Structure formats: C-alpha cells, structure tokens
Structure 1
Amino acid sequence: MRISRTLPVAAVVAAAGVLSLAAVPAQAAEYSSALKVKGVQYDAPGRDSNKCSGGNTAAEYLTIKNYSKTAKVNLKGYVVKDAAGNRFTFTKSHTLEPGDYIKLRGGRGTDSDTKNVVYRQNCNFIWNNDKDTIYFYKPSGARADVHSYTKKANDRDGNGYINYHG
C-alpha cells in the first residue's frame, strides 16, 4: 500500500495565490481613483540647479490627470510624496474636469487652472534622478496611485521623462 503525502488541493491553491500576490510590484496595483499620475519629468533638462532665481526646478514636474469620463475632482487635500518622505499637499481648490490634467512643478510661481499648473513654492528638487517612488494620496489618506522608477529600467530614451497611464 502506497501512502500519498500530498497537500489538499485547497492548501495548494491558497499557497499559489499568496505567492502570486507577493510577486506583484506595488505599482501594478490599481487603486480606485479617478486621479492618477500621468507622468513625471523626474530629471529636469540641463544641469540641476535648485536656485530660486535662475534654477531649473520648475522644469521638474509631475502630471496628474483625471481619467474619469464624467466626474469632476477637486485636488484640495490630495498629497504627493516621494520615497524619502518629501511631500506636497494641495491646499487650494483645483478642480479637474474629466480628461483634464495639472502639472505640479517645482520652484516658485503663480498657480493657474487655465494654464494647468500648480507650483510647490519650493526650489528644492523632489524626485531623484536615479530612482524614486511617487506616492499619490486622496484627502482621506487612501492611496490613489503609486509608481516606482529607476532611470535605467524606465527611461529608455534618457530624456528624464516617464509616462504612466497614457
């Protein structure tokens, strides 16, 4: 008589499910949010200079888009963070119509809904030129979107821009 030492089918399926979940990178998760990160200019063109006058931090930006076909979304209270914990909170009302976008730029400037721009009012760079993680949170604290990048793996043409969500 041969004794079978196999796991019950349910245990095998459960273990396989756990293994497949562990292998999924954070940026592959889809969050329930109309607003998502469309792209990031993580490496501003030219030589990096975070001087408020004559620097190029305004050329570093994050594009956030409203992917909803019907809902208007106000950015007030949304938060953008990087892996090191640098953060920006949208403190003013900026309503994005369906399909509309806004560029969150470094440096100082005048926010404009008509020009689709918000300035961080900070002349320091937020995104690292070699690798970083972009976290985007709803006002409730729930994650709206997240993307990790490395220059080598994600910026094949080397222009300092990475496109997400089309």
Structure 2
Amino acid sequence: MRIRRTLTVAATVAAVAALGFTGAVPAQAAEYSSALKIKGVQYDAPGRDSNKCSGGNTKNEYLTIKNYSKKSKVNLKGYKVKDRAGNTFTFKANHILEPGDYVHLRGGRGTDSDGKNVVYRQNCNFMWNNDKDTIYFYKPGGAPADIHAYTKKAHDKDGNGYIKYHG
C-alpha cells in the first residue's frame, strides 16, 4: 500500500509540473515547502467597516505569518501577499523572523516594528473580503509559500471574523 501511495503522489506532482504552476491550483491543494506559512487571518475587522485612514478600522484587519522552522531565521523581504482580486503587498524591507516568531501584516498606516511584530500595508483600504476570498503567499522568487481560500459560512464557525490555518 505504501508504495502505491508514493507512486500516486509522485504521479500527481509530475502531472502538475508538466502543466506548469499557474496560480490556479485550488487552495489547500498542496503543502508547500516553506518555513513561513499563514497562521491565520482577521478578515473581518471588529466593528463597522470604515477604511478611513484616521479613525477607521483597517488596522484591525490583519494576516498572521509565522516562521514554523525550528532552527532557521527567515527574512520576509521579497515575499508577496495577494488576494483573489489581485490586490498585492510586497515586503520591501528586511524583517527577520526568528524560529517560531510571527508578524501581523495590518491594513492602514503605521510604523513597522520588529519588536511589536507588525508591518503595515500603508494602505487604508481593506484587503480581505468579508464573505469569501483567497490568500496567496509567495516566496521572493515567485514560488507559492502558502495558499488558503475561505468563506465566512464554511470557515468562521464562531463568526468572530478570524480564521486559523496553521497552529
């Protein structure tokens, strides 16, 4: 049985490679070889949605990215986050994540801080849709690091606007 399963996985990988990765692979279709993964997303910021830079709640919408490596530091510079509509954020500055460390990528404007584990998109518009969306996370070379699709109905059972992916 084990050999058969290995052959099936190998055949699937070969078929995907032959077709080429176009970004259209369904979310959660594969585990990617990346130390950095999406831990969770606060896709629906608490309170009434307001994308005003002053007094709005876009800072309360965030994506948590964690370094799941037990030994290696990872620099976020060059990593890219994208939603289904094509809204994109690229980490342009060095931001080192120690093993087990995380960062919140928040909406709104603010000062990035390694000490507070936060990077701001410097954009007051919401990135994640409140009903459904797909989160694409890419390595600096363009290879997928992690991808997750969500719908409010299927993935947010307690209705708090937060979805957890990796522990």
Using structure 2 for the length normalisation, give the TM-score: 0.85
Structure 1 residue aligned with 2:78 = 77
Tell me if 1:41 matches 2:42. Answer: yes
Runs in 1 of length 4+ with deviation above 2 angstroms?
none
Tell me if 1:103 matches 2:134. Answer: no
Shift of residue 25, structure 1, vs aligned partner: 4.5
Structure 2 residue aligned with 1:3 = none
Partners of 2:26 and 2:79 in 1: CA distance = 23
Tell me if 1:147 matches 2:138. Answer: no
Structure 2 residue aligned with 1:27 = 28
Shift of residue 26, structure 1, vs aligned partner: 2.7
Partners of 1:43 and 1:154 in 2: CA distance = 13
Shift of residue 28, structure 1, vs aligned partner: 3.7
Partners of 1:88 and 1:27 in 2: CA distance = 21
Using structure 1 for the length normalisation, give the TM-score: 0.86
Partners of 2:27 and 2:60 in 1: CA distance = 27
Describe how 1:57-68 pairs up with structure 2 within 5 A. Answer: 57-68=58-69
Gaps of 5+ in 1: 1-12
Gaps of 5+ in 2: 1-6, 17-24
Root-mean-square deviation (CA, aligned residues, Å) is 1.8
**How many residues in Structure 1 have an aligned counterpart in Structure 2?**
149
Q: 2:28 is paired with a residue of what secondary structure?
A: helix
Aligned residues with identical type, % of pairs: 81
Q: 1:153 is paired with a residue of what secondary structure?
A: helix
**Which structure has the bigger radius of gyration?**
1
Q: 1:133 is paired with a residue of what secondary structure?
A: strand
Deviation digits for residues 15-59 of structure 1, max 9, x if unmatched?
A: xx77xx99x943141000000000000000000000000000000
Structure 2 residue aligned with 1:158 = 159
